[in-house]
Amino acid sequence: MSTLEDLDDLEREQKEDKKDDKKKDGEDGKKGDGDADMQDAEPEEEVLDEEILNLGTRDIVARKRLMENDMRIMKSEYQRLTHEKSSMNEKIKDNLDKIENNRYGPSRAWPHPPVRGGVA
């Protein structure tokens, strides 16, 4: 199993090899067709912080577990909020239906109040 330092060294070597291959092939970024060279918007950041590179295996595993626990908590919170949102949307829809029904007055299915005095 490779250490983090070995993986970092391997990445650096691969980047250097790519640069060397471009120089050998004559692709040093200067073209004669007048097209502008594409450049990265921002320089690439290091994948791992120095702090992480200096940590021991147990510390890295402990951090990994903490991050996994945080992910589980966030997923369950997301599911809870999604469910709450859908139930609120259903309640809103029901209330809008009730409002729409009340605009037109009481339904004709309800019995009319009795006529007093026998006169219709």
71-110 pLDDT, tens digit per residue, is 999 999 999 999 999 999 999 999 999 998 888 766 555 5
- Mean pLDDT for the stretch of residues 9-23: 79
Residue 117 or residue 93, greater confidence: 93
Q: What is the pLDDT of residues 87-96, one digit of tens each?
A: 999 999 999 9
One-character DSSP codes across 2-29: --HHHHHHHHHHHHHHHHHHHHHHT-SS
CA distance 120 to 113: 11
CA distance 35 to 18: 22
pTM of the entire structure? Answer: 0.43
pLDDT at 60 over 80: yes
CA distance 101 to 115: 25
pLDDT mean across residues, the chain:
79
How is residue 76 written in tokens?
A: 């369950």
